[in-house]
Amino acid sequence: MKRRDFLQLAGMGAGALMLPTYLFGKSVPLDAPHSVLDARASKQLADVALNTARSQGASYADVRIGRYLNQYLFTREDRVQNTVNTESFGVGIRVIVNGTWGFAATDQVTPDGIKKAAEQAAAIAKANAKLQTEPVKLVPVQSYGEQEWRTPIERNAFDVPVAEKVDLLLSSNAAAMQEGANFINNSLFLVNEQKYFASTEGSYINQDIHRIWPTFTVTARDTASGKFKQRASLSAPMGMGWEYMSGRQQDKIQGPAGLIFYGNTYDQKEDAVSAARQAKEMLTAKSVKPGKYDLVLDPDHLGLTIHESVGHPLELDRVLGYEANYAGTSFATLDKWKTKNFNYGSKIVNLFADKTQDHSLGKVGWDDEGVKTKRWDLVKDGVLVNYQAIRDQAHIINENESHGCCYADSWSSVQFQRMPNVSLAPGTEKYSMQDMIKDVQDGIFIIGRGSYSIDQQRYNFQFGGTLFYEIKNGQVTEMLNDVAYQSNTQEFWNSCAKICDESDYRLFGSFFDGKGQPSQVSAVSHGSSTTRFNGVNVINTARNI
Amino acid sequence: MAILSKEEARSIMEKVISLSKADECVVNLSGSNGGNIRYARNSVSTSGSEENTSLAVQSSFGKKSGTSTINEFDTASLEKVVRRSEELARLAPENPEFMSALEPQQYQEGKAYFKSTDDITPAMRAQFAADSIKPASAKGVTAAGFLEDSAGFNALMNSKGLFAYNQTSGVDFTVTMRTEDGTGSGWVARDFNDVKKLNTAEASQIALDKALRSRNAKAIEPGKYTVILEPAAAADLVQNMIYSMGARNADEGRSFLSKKGGGTKLGEKLVDERVKIYSDPLHGEVPFSPWSGDGVPIKRTSWIENGVVKNMFYDRYWASKAGREALPAPGRFVMEGGNASIDDMIKNTKRGVLVTRLWYIRTVDPQTLLYTGLTRDGTFYIENGKIMYPVKNFRFNESPIIMLNNLEALGKPQRIDGNLVPPMKIRDFTFTSLSDAV
């Protein structure tokens, strides 16, 4: 599934019938209650797959029976452009025969359909074994027996009537328009993955996973000058239910210049009003003078920088060359890791992977090959200490246990190593965002996601943002335009000078992270507190056409 | 079941329409057969095949509509999908932009399907991969590639009697070759409707040569350079411009085609007068469907002629507001060029940089269509008509509008990513920093 296909959804309406079929699955009534997979029936079907695979000579097999529910709402200004509800149900079977992987999937979730798919997976493995030069080696995994896990949610967003969701989005739109916005595009994405996993290792795991992402873009236009400016929402996609939309007072953090930041719940209407005000202010804001600045990066911005410059380069399959033809390889090579003194960042930089973090997109009980999830260090006191590895990779980094970060975006996709939540640990001494701004002489405060681009080995990057403010002598002075910073991953993380404490820690997320060929999406969170980086190169992006 | 003939599709769809109780009913039936093979480290990593047929039904009552899909075709399933879409329509909010189904249309016969591509077998995929891996391993170079093919049909019918049917096929191949010391990397891409045109051995040789020639790149200062963009590099930026030519955003004042004081740049000179870009669903080399997803017929359309904006695309709703006919966005485009080869263009260059491809391209400013990204897999310094040495990759910040105003020369167009695009020589292309990435 390509990121582009999802983005195209937003512009859709009349062309809805031409949606790629995999997005549809079988559509279901918008307000239907959703039952989860029945564990007993699933176990019987799973055993058909495992037994067939064994009979075909498989040394290992796993099966994933999955029901994937999506609901997407697209609105602009005072109207709903589209509501899409999809359900996709099927089974994916993965086997190892003759030391080679084989995979097949089917939407015929019957003993017969499953048997055929298992046979096909084995046949593919046998055919590919002829071209295989590196037989698969799996590290051991515990046999977990029968297990259940659910995303801890307060209110299932799929059970919330569509009318209630539409009301919230349209009232946010109205508030933005009233504040002087010219346009607002406001969308809501909901995902529910119901997955039943079983493997020949003796695990039968039933999981019910929920994610939510409200996101908008407000546009302000000045017809006389022909200029327009956009301000994206400061929401984050979360592994939560409808409670994320409750905008609790205790989850708000007040910043300078009237800024409001959001933690574990989000106030969309309030953010839409701020967005309209700020988009208008951008129309006349000062263009940045290029040069070196101390950057104060807000978590809703820094998350993407972590994603691109830490999350991706430490994927072991990239490091080894399996993604060379698409996403690329990595500068963080095994020889650098083996030295045990490769300075990824300054001494205060601690970056960790964690599939158990509350409210995060990546939180699950077990990964898609039946490994219990956990937390582990990637960069410790500035030094590169580990990667992200799954069962067939862990032996390469001399570990005898998978990290539990294997994922497939559908029953019909083959699971592979995907980025877990990767986060920057907060500072240990008490230090707020306000304290940080006071300590900056000549800097820029960057908020929210913007343009992002990084090379195929993750050295050189350029990031923009949503909002930029000049900091002079410890004060936020005025808004800036046309800001982007360019740096090199190692240089950047070594310029990390100060990190706010835990009270400022928030999650950012990427809902449609793309990897693999055919491309698969994945959702992942990145936590951090507001952080300062000294002397970073800022360019001016203004042009005339 | 996956690929149905025109008559088979018509028969199923007529049955669906006859079950409808809605004010209007629109039915889309599509199916495809396909497969893929992926390799890395000179060894196959994954492969698979897929077959899928899907029926989508959109029912509407007034301005309320709902869509439902299914992949089973017995009468009970057809009845179920129709009733479900009607249920959805009744629950849906009214859409002020709802457009009533189109009246029957005349369509040209599509030319995008080739049986040869439909007939690809797993053994052929394995052979395509082997033809790519073999020359690489012989030279101690590591190949990572991907081949994906698909053939299928798409049909549309509505309760007003409209019926459209089209078949397409396609094969996409890419390979990245990296030298063992990690200092050289080359890449090539090929895509065709007809698999008979694909030769992965010939294509892989280009990537292999580039990998070997790009070893131990030198760093040169970033800045403004004359560049020769190979079609893959040029296509990425031109495509971003073409697909941003929507009339609605331009009319709303939030597009690079919006003008100071209001109005749009339609009919105005935007880029160098040698720039000519059009789309044609019946083009012999880059054919696509002669109708859009909502049934609007697609004809040959000029988008930029002699540097002037000739057309912007309109969906049915925006076209009705503007009192004109809908004009769908192009499925593919053709940018005209000349006859010069890339070698000829190098010979005529005093000082410049040859760029194989661009990577991780993102919008920096939608107002000016400023994009950033990096060069990748073969960047070379040219002096006095010759490639002198490989250079380190650059980050660029450039707008296709500025680029196409700084046009020096156009070469012979090649098919890339479904489009026909010439290599182009551009002066003052803006590189803003260096990258160590290989």
Least confident of A132-141, A283-292, B110-119, B245-254: A132-141
Query: In chain B, what residues touch A328 (CB-CB under 8 Å)?
Result: 359, 437
Q: Does A206 touch chain B (CB under 8 A)?
A: no
> How does residue A4 score in pLDDT terms, banded at 50, 70 and 90?
very low
A433-472 pLDDT, tens digit per residue, is 999 999 999 999 999 999 999 999 999 999 999 999 999 9
* A260 in Cβ contact with A253 (< 8 Å): yes
Of A14, A29, A453, the CB nearest to B88: A29
Q: According to the model, what pLDDT value does residue A149 have?
A: 98
* B290 in Cβ contact with B282 (< 8 Å): yes
Q: How far apart are CA A33 and CA A39, in angstroms?
A: 18
Q: How far apart are CA A395 and CA A136, in angstroms?
A: 10
Question: Hey, which residues 182-201 in chain A have their CB within 8 Å of chain B?
Answer: 182-183
The DSSP call for residue B271 is: S
Q: Which CATH number fits domain A3-282: 3.40.50.20, 3.40.50.10540, 3.30.2290.10, 3.10.150.10?
A: 3.30.2290.10
> How does residue A9 score in pLDDT terms, banded at 50, 70 and 90?
very low
Task: Answer yes or no: is pLDDT of B48 > 90.
Answer: no
Of B85, B95, B293, the CB nearest to A15: B293
Query: In chain A, what residues touch B47 (CB-CB under 8 Å)?
Result: 124, 128
Taking residues B344-373, what's their average pLDDT? 97
The DSSP call for residue B159 is: T
> Are A80 and B26 a contacting pair at CB < 8 A?
no
Task: Answer yes or no: is pLDDT of B315 > 50.
Answer: yes
Q: Does B104 touch chain A (CB under 8 A)?
A: no
Task: Answer yes or no: is pLDDT of A14 > 80.
Answer: no
Query: In chain A, what residues touch B133 (CB-CB under 8 Å)?
Result: 131
Rounded percentage of chain B residues whose pLDDT exceeds 70: 100
* A216 in Cβ contact with A195 (< 8 Å): no
- CA nearest neighbour of B225 among B74, B10, B408: B408
* B147 in Cβ contact with B124 (< 8 Å): no
Query: In chain A, what residues touch B418 (CB-CB under 8 Å)?
Result: none
> How does residue A430 score in pLDDT terms, banded at 50, 70 and 90?
very high
CATH 3.30.2290.10 location in chain B: 6-211
Q: According to the model, what pLDDT value does residue A36 have?
A: 67
Q: According to the model, what pLDDT value does residue B352 have?
A: 98
Residue A129 sits at the vertex; the CA angle it makes with A124 and A133, to the nearest 5 degrees, is 140
Of B44, B374, B432, the CB nearest to A455: B374
Taking residues A150-178, what's their average pLDDT? 96
Q: According to the model, what pLDDT value does residue A28 have?
A: 53
| Interstrand relation of A203-222 and A145-150 (parallel, antiparallel or unpaired) | parallel
Q: Does B183 touch chain A (CB under 8 A)?
A: no
Which chain A residue's Cα is nearest to B372?
A: A453
Task: Answer yes or no: is pLDDT of A23 > 60.
Answer: no
- CA nearest neighbour of B172 among A3, A318, A131, A517: A517
A326-349 pLDDT, tens digit per residue, is 999 999 999 999 999 999 999 999
Which chain B residue's Cα is nearest to A74?
A: B95
The DSSP call for residue A143 is: -
> Are A321 and B142 a contacting pair at CB < 8 A?
yes
Q: Does B73 touch chain A (CB under 8 A)?
A: no
- CA nearest neighbour of A253 among A298, A302, A301, A306: A298
- Domain spans of chain A, in order of start: 3-282, 286-540
Which chain B residue's Cα is nearest to A77?
A: B96
Q: How far apart are CA A515 and CA A322, in angstroms?
A: 11
> Are A325 and B292 a contacting pair at CB < 8 A?
no
Q: Which is more confident, A163 or A421?
A: A421
Query: In chain A, what residues touch B69 (CB-CB under 8 Å)?
Result: 21, 24-27, 86
Residues facing B147 on adjacent strands: B37, B173
> Are A19 and B401 a contacting pair at CB < 8 A?
no
Of B71, B261, B363, the CB nearest to A451: B363
Task: Answer yes or no: is pLDDT of A233 > 90.
Answer: yes
Q: What single string gives the DSSP state of each residue in B251-267?
A: HTT-STTB-TTS-B-TT
Cβ-proximal residues to A280 (8 Å cutoff; 6+ apart), any chain:
A180, A181, A220
Cβ-proximal residues to A338 (8 Å cutoff; 6+ apart), any chain:
none
A141-163 pLDDT, tens digit per residue, is 999 999 999 999 999 999 999 88
Q: Does A132 touch chain B (CB under 8 A)?
A: yes
Which chain A residue's Cα is nearest to B57?
A: A17
Residue range B6-211, CATH number = 3.30.2290.10
| CA B218 from centre of chain | 33
Q: According to the model, what pLDDT value does residue A461 have?
A: 97
Instruction: Tell me the pLDDT of chain A averaged across its residues.
Output: 92
Question: Hey, which residues 44-83 in chain A have their CB within 8 Å of chain B?
Answer: 79-83
Least confident of A307-316, B72-81, B244-253, B316-325: B72-81
Which chain A residue's Cα is nearest to B187?
A: A325
Of B66, B68, B254, the CB nearest to A183: B254
Task: Answer yes or no: is pLDDT of A260 > 60.
Answer: yes
Task: Answer yes or no: is pLDDT of A12 > 60.
Answer: no
Q: According to the model, what pLDDT value does residue A2 have?
A: 36
The DSSP call for residue A14 is: G
Task: Answer yes or no: is pLDDT of B22 > 70.
Answer: yes
Which chain A residue's Cα is nearest to B51?
A: A106
Query: In chain B, what residues touch A321 (CB-CB under 8 Å)?
Result: 40-41, 142, 144, 178
Q: According to the model, what pLDDT value does residue A285 have?
A: 98
Q: According to the model, what pLDDT value does residue A3 have?
A: 35
Taking residues B105-113, what's their average pLDDT? 97
Q: How far is A147 from chain B (nearest CA, A)?
A: 30
Residues facing A207 on adjacent strands: A149, A195
> Are A457 and B436 a contacting pair at CB < 8 A?
yes
Burial class (CB in 10 A: 0-12, 13-18, 19+), B339: exposed
Residue B226 parent element (H or E): strand B224-229
Residue A422 sits at the vertex; the CA angle it makes with A419 and A426, to the nearest 5 degrees, is 180
Task: Answer yes or no: is pLDDT of A270 > 80.
Answer: yes
Q: Does B141 touch chain A (CB under 8 A)?
A: no
Question: Hey, which residues 255-284 in chain B have their CB within 8 Å of chain A?
Answer: 256, 258-262
Q: According to the model, what pLDDT value does residue A83 have?
A: 80
> Are B144 and A325 a contacting pair at CB < 8 A?
yes
Q: According to the model, what pLDDT value does residue B1 have?
A: 54
Rounded percentage of chain A residues whose pLDDT exceeds 90: 87
Q: Which is more confident, A81 or B370?
A: B370
Q: How far is B293 from chain A (nearest CA, A)?
A: 5
Which chain A residue's Cα is nearest to B97?
A: A81
> How does residue A13 score in pLDDT terms, banded at 50, 70 and 90?
very low
Q: According to the model, what pLDDT value does residue A7 have?
A: 36
Task: Answer yes or no: is pLDDT of B145 > 90.
Answer: yes
> Are A324 and B434 a contacting pair at CB < 8 A?
no
> How does residue A34 score in pLDDT terms, banded at 50, 70 and 90?
low
Q: Does B71 touch chain A (CB under 8 A)?
A: yes
> Are B365 and A543 a contacting pair at CB < 8 A?
yes
| Interstrand relation of A286-287 and A531-540 (parallel, antiparallel or unpaired) | unpaired
A369-381 pLDDT, tens digit per residue, is 999 999 999 999 9
| CA A248 from centre of chain | 23
Q: According to the model, what pLDDT value does residue A529 have?
A: 98
Task: Answer yes or no: is pLDDT of A16 > 50.
Answer: no
Q: According to the model, what pLDDT value does residue A22 have?
A: 34
Q: According to the model, what pLDDT value does residue A18 have?
A: 35
Count Cα neighbours of A429 within 13 Å in the Cβ-side half-sphere: 4
Task: Answer yes or no: is pLDDT of A30 > 80.
Answer: no
> Are A545 and B175 a contacting pair at CB < 8 A?
no
A183-195 pLDDT, tens digit per residue, is 999 999 999 999 9
Tokens describing residue A411: 């029953």
Cβ-proximal residues to A8 (8 Å cutoff; 6+ apart), any chain:
none
Of A321, A454, A541, the CB nearest to B360: A454
Q: How far apart are CA A102 and CA A113, in angstroms?
A: 17
> How does residue A230 score in pLDDT terms, banded at 50, 70 and 90?
very high
Residue of A2, A8, A26, A283 to mutate when probing chain B, most B C-beta within 10 A: A26
Of A81, A458, A542, the CB nearest to B97: A81
Q: According to the model, what pLDDT value does residue A29 have?
A: 52
> How does residue A213 score in pLDDT terms, banded at 50, 70 and 90?
very high
Taking residues B153-160, what's their average pLDDT? 98
Question: Hey, which residues 208-237 in chain B have their CB within 8 Å of chain A?
Answer: none
Q: According to the model, what pLDDT value does residue B359 have?
A: 97
Task: Answer yes or no: is pLDDT of A475 > 90.
Answer: yes
A75-132 pLDDT, tens digit per residue, is 999 998 888 777 888 999 999 999 999 999 988 899 999 999 999 999 988 988 887 7
- CA nearest neighbour of A367 among A392, A337, A386, A350: A392
- Count chain A–chain B contacts defined by CB atoms under 8 A: 256
Taking residues B244-250, what's their average pLDDT? 98
> Are B41 and A321 a contacting pair at CB < 8 A?
yes
* B404 in Cβ contact with B378 (< 8 Å): no
> Are B361 and A325 a contacting pair at CB < 8 A?
no
Rg (CA), chain A: 24
Which chain B residue's Cα is nearest to A101?
A: B46
Burial class (CB in 10 A: 0-12, 13-18, 19+), A36: middle
A479-505 pLDDT, tens digit per residue, is 999 999 999 999 999 999 999 999 999
Question: Could you give phi then psi for residue B401, rounded to 5 degrees?
Answer: -70, -45
